[in-house]
Amino acid sequence: MIGLIQNETLYEYDIRSLILAFCIGEKIELSSGGDDNSIYDFICRVFYGEEETLLELRAGESVISEKVRGDFRDKRNFKNSLKAALYRLLSCHLKKELPWGTLNGIRPTKLVFEDCMLGKTRADMKAKLRRDYLVSEEKADLCVSVGLKETELLKDISYESGYSLYVGIPFCPSTCLYCSFTSYPISAYREYVDQYLDALIREICYIGEQYRDREMISLYVGGGTPTTLSPKQLDRLFGELRRCFDFGGIREITVEAGRPDSITAEKLSVLSENGVTRISINPQTMNDDTLIRIGRKHTAEDVADCFQTARKSGFDNINMDMICGLPGEGIRELEKTFKALGELGPDSITVHALAIKRSAPLNQMRDQFSFGADDEMIRFAQRACFDMGMEPYYMYRQKNIPGNFENIGFSLEEKECLYNILIMEELHDIIAAGAGASSKFVGGSRNIQRAENLKDVRQYTERIEEMILRKDKLLKSMC
């Protein structure tokens, strides 16, 4: 346990986040600074003064400290200096460094994207990340590379006047141990699917009416696993989407086919006939023992068969997700996964470093499994993607990734997913329909407002008019 003493709370979130980046899974307790400090691994003390702030780390009799000059109330200019000082103390005490330095947000490329748009040099952007945020040489280079790629891909996109649509299908064949997304087992909820679609289509129709004068850039159907729907249900959904929206200028339509145990040739045919341009078939691993361990109801061979069926169905843009650090997996298992992926030849691969949120079943099983990626795994996965001729084009981070790593989307040329970039950079409205879906409305000066849908399928279905009203109030307030 870690103790925290402070005379002001203005930067408490930033301090906690940075400490937890170094000490994942530890508990931080607000301390009075009394006599009994033996319960703490160390105590972090932050005392804000008029012109100078004192930071102190105390572990037993050992005390290290650093002073930060400046007005702590000037948050814009003071925060980075405070975090940099705290980082140096933590790094010294714990004898470790973080590849992303003081950055703990999920969108590091936002720091360089605008500089890319302004034509700043690669060297200047990299130096800024190294100097102001203490980012490692390797990660700074990666961040700038992704930012430059995003800039190139969006140069002809009217994202300021356009929007993207997300449609959520919150059903899966089974729940994976690591999953914290809104998803429900299709076997238990099958009788609710048509009712859910009724409500979803009601919300889609409302969105279509509100956005009739704007151009849809991308459509992303995610989940859950959208292909848990029957062919008839999939066709109904896309029929309503085409009725409610003008697809004339759309750049891409992605469907998370996801689980091979949900995909059939008939469903793929429905997707193809409805103009879907990109699908994901996500094995996460190509090791059968691991697939059983994490609760997937299919084999690596099923993945390969499904992939070949999709190719025969005409899909020439297939993404595959994989996860580094799954329970029981090391570098040998990772090598097997990438050998199998290389033989299949996907058009893009998203490399995830395992992150376990509180709601994930695996979080309650830490005593049963060892898991989490390490630097060797991440480096190997990235090299494997480069060897397949892919380049990184988008990136995001999660707070609960052991090792302070990141998730990277790699792609062959012209096989990138624009939606992935647009949602990360928050450049235009991402309007979302479905249980657990979160809409982002981008106003002037990138002022972002959110509208959240209820996660529970039954509640969402019964209260669909309330979901629509939330969006309506927000849209009217931003006019």
Distance CA 278, CA 21 (A): 35
Name beta bridge partners: 255. Answer: 221, 279
User: Do 145 and 176 share a structural domain?
Assistant: no
User: Do 122 and 269 share a structural domain?
Assistant: no
Q: What is the pLDDT of residue 359?
A: 58
Question: Residue 253 is encoded by which pair of tokens?
Answer: 């339509």
Q: What angle do CA 267, 408, 79 make, to 5 degrees?
A: 130
Q: Would you tell me how many other CB atoms lie within 10 Å of the CB of residue 149?
A: 21
Q: Is residue 319 part of a domain?
A: yes
Q: What is the pLDDT of residue 369?
A: 64
Kindly report the CATH number assigned to the domain that includes residue 45: 3.30.160
Q: Is residue 229 part of a domain?
A: yes
Q: Is residue 478 part of a domain?
A: no
Distance CA 86, CA 44 (A): 9
Q: What is the pLDDT of residue 126?
A: 96
| Residues 6 or more apart whose Cβ sits within 8 Å of residue 347 | 316, 317, 318, 319, 411, 412, 415
Q: What is the pLDDT of residue 447?
A: 82
| Residues 6 or more apart whose Cβ sits within 8 Å of residue 201 | 236, 237, 240
Distance CA 70, CA 53 (A): 8
Question: Residue 144 is encoded by which pair of tokens?
Answer: 């700038």
Q: What is the pLDDT of residue 371?
A: 73
User: Do 226 and 139 share a structural domain?
Assistant: no
Domain range for residue 422? Answer: 162-465
Q: Is residue 471 part of a domain?
A: no
Q: What is the pLDDT of residue 367?
A: 59
- 455 close to 182: Cβ distance less than 8 angstroms: yes
User: Do 179 and 57 share a structural domain?
Assistant: no
Which of 97, 113, 7, 204 minimizes the C-alpha distance to 422? 113
User: Do 137 and 84 share a structural domain?
Assistant: no
User: Do 358 and 453 share a structural domain?
Assistant: yes
CA distances from 288 to 116, 170, 224, 375 (A): 43, 25, 22, 24
Q: Is residue 101 part of a domain?
A: no
Q: What is the pLDDT of residue 476?
A: 83
Kindly report the CATH number assigned to the domain that includes residue 399: 3.80.30.20
- 133 close to 102: Cβ distance less than 8 angstroms: yes
Q: What is the pLDDT of residue 160?
A: 78
User: Do 145 and 89 share a structural domain?
Assistant: no
User: Do 330 and 241 share a structural domain?
Assistant: yes
Positions of the chain with pLDDT lower than 50, given as ranges: none
- 280 close to 256: Cβ distance less than 8 angstroms: yes
Domain boundary among 67, 94, 121: 94
User: Do 458 and 359 share a structural domain?
Assistant: yes
Q: Number of structural domains, the chain?
A: 3
Distance CA 205, CA 435 (A): 16
Q: Is residue 104 part of a domain?
A: no
Distance CA 345, CA 365 (A): 34
Distance CA 21, CA 449 (A): 27
User: Do 424 and 326 share a structural domain?
Assistant: yes
Q: What is the pLDDT of residue 257?
A: 87
The structure's pTM equals 0.91
Q: Is residue 135 part of a domain?
A: yes
In the DSSP assignment, the letter for residue 245 is S
Q: Is residue 431 part of a domain?
A: yes
